[in-house]
């Protein structure tokens, strides 16, 4: 029996119907995975640019003197927690638990906003206290472009998730939209894994002892 | 002949989804606790006065574990079709290859060891 015939009665059947593609994967999800794969390459070039210029011009800036690893560490915890809440949000959407979707999406957005506030504070601190701007030196250029691009991804994710949060309060939200929440979740988790890499290669390695 | 629909199927299908998602909740909770613990270890390990290569290796391994945990459980690759994993890994391999190629390309001494192995 076709899953379509159940779709009107059962949210699970409605979601299963969306899998009736040649790959067995929902088209939206497949498109998002393809986009994330391309975004990997984008961030790969930004990260390698930063690393290369850190190696070529090691003495332009002493990152340990300007970084606030406690703040950055706190931001990392916040982003990981937002990822956890996003996973719960997707789970709630698949269960048809609309209240859960709202609460968890709200929590994800809240933590995402805290992360962004931390990044704005960090940038403001660097510019006002250390005079590090996008054009002051090559470290500033690569650092702001890399972390700023990630911040823009976070901001876009917050807008996307926020629009879904609003949508859940309308009558138009249906069980099939669990897939859309899941696709938005994939994007949000990707933002998290990019930060995992940035946190290590941009921030933590600067604190490794005996590095000259 | 098309079999007649089982009236219990929608309910049983949805109940199975709820049971599956309930199990995932505990998985997600455990993964998030592990991710927090690993991040805490990363923050502490950089202050250890030990050989820098040990610290760098540990940071790399811990970051890789966090990365894989997020894509495997939070991004549902564990439960999705293999094609999603393959698609994402294609991007990862090309990105990794680009990083490696750039490191070699901008090597101060092209005949020497690659810069990525002697960063900083």
Cβ(A63)–Cβ(A211) below 8 Å = no
Cβ(A139)–Cβ(A53) below 8 Å = yes
Per-domain residue ranges for chain A?
32-207
Question: Quick check: B3 contacting A, CB < 8 Å?
Answer: yes
Q: Which residues of chain B have pLDDT under 70?
A: 1-13, 108-120
- What are A190-208's pLDDT values in tens digits? 999 999 999 999 999 999 8
Determine the pLDDT at residue B61: 96
CATH 1.20.120.80 fits A32-207, yes or no: yes
Q: How far apart (Å, rounded) are the C-alpha atoms in residues A112 and A170?
A: 23
Quick one: tokens of A15? 């979601």
Cβ(A108)–Cβ(A188) below 8 Å = yes
Q: Do residue A23 and residue B83 have CB atoms under 8 angstroms apart?
A: yes
To which residue do tokens 């810069």 refer? B115
The average pLDDT across A59-74 equals 92
Question: Which of 10-49 (B) contact A at CB < 8 A?
Answer: 10-11, 13-14, 16-18, 21, 24-25, 28-29, 31-32, 35-36, 39, 42-43, 46-49
User: Model ipTM?
Assistant: 0.88
Contacts for B10 with CB less than 8 Å, ≥ 6 apart: A6, A9, A10, A12, A13
Quick one: tokens of A86? 């996003």
In degrees, rounded to 5, the angle at the alpha carbon of residue A162 between the alpha carbons of residues A17 and A158 is 105
Task: Give the lowest-confidence range in A38-42, A61-65, A78-82, A87-91.
Answer: A61-65
Q: Do residue B106 and residue A55 have CB atoms under 8 angstroms apart?
A: yes
Please name the residue of chain B whose CA is at the shortest distance from the CA of residue A11. B14
Determine the pLDDT at residue B18: 82
Q: Across the A/B interface, how many CB contacts are shorter than 8 Å? A: 191
């Amino acid at each position: 029996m076709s899953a379509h015939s159940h779709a009107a009665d059962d949210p699970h059947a409605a979601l299963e119907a969306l899998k009736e593609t040649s790959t067995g994967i929902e088209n939206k999800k497949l498109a998002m995975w393809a986009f994330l794969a391309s975004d990997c390459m984008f961030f790969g070039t930004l990260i390698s640019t930063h690393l290369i210029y850190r190696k070529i011009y090691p003495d332009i800036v002493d990152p340990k003197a300007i970084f606030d690893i406690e703040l950055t560490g706190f931001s990392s915890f916040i982003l990981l927690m937002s990822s956890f809440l996003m996973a719960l949000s997707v789970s709630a959407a698949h269960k048809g638990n609309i209240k859960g979707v709202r609460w968890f999406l709200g929590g994800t957005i809240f933590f995402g906003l805290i992360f962004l506030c931390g990044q704005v504070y960090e940038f403001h601190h660097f510019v006002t206290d250390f005079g590090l701007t996008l054009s002051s030196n090559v470290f500033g250029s690569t650092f702001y472009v890399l972390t700023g691009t990630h911040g823009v991804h976070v901001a876009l994710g917050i807008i996307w998730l926020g629009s879904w949060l609003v949508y859940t309060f309308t009558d138009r939200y249906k069980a099939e939209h669990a897939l859309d929440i899941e696709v938005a979740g994939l994007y949000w988790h990707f933002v998290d894994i990019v930060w995992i890499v940035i946190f290590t290669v941009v921030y933590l390695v600067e604190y490794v002892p005996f590095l000259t | 002949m098309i079999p007649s629909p089982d009236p219990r199927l929608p309910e049983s299908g949805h109940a199975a989804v709820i049971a599956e998602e309930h199990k995932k909740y505990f998985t997600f909770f455990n993964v998030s606790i592990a991710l927090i613990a690993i991040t805490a270890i990363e923050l502490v390990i950089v202050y250890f006065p030990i050989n820098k290569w040990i610290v760098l290796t540990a940071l790399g391994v811990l970051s890789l574990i966090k990365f894989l945990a997020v894509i495997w459980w939070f991004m549902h690759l564990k439960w999705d079709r293999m094609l999603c994993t393959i698609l994402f890994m294609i991007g990862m391999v090309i990105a990794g290859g680009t990083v490696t190629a750039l490191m070699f390309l901008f090597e101060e001494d092209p005949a020497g060891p690659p810069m990525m192995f002697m960063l900083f």
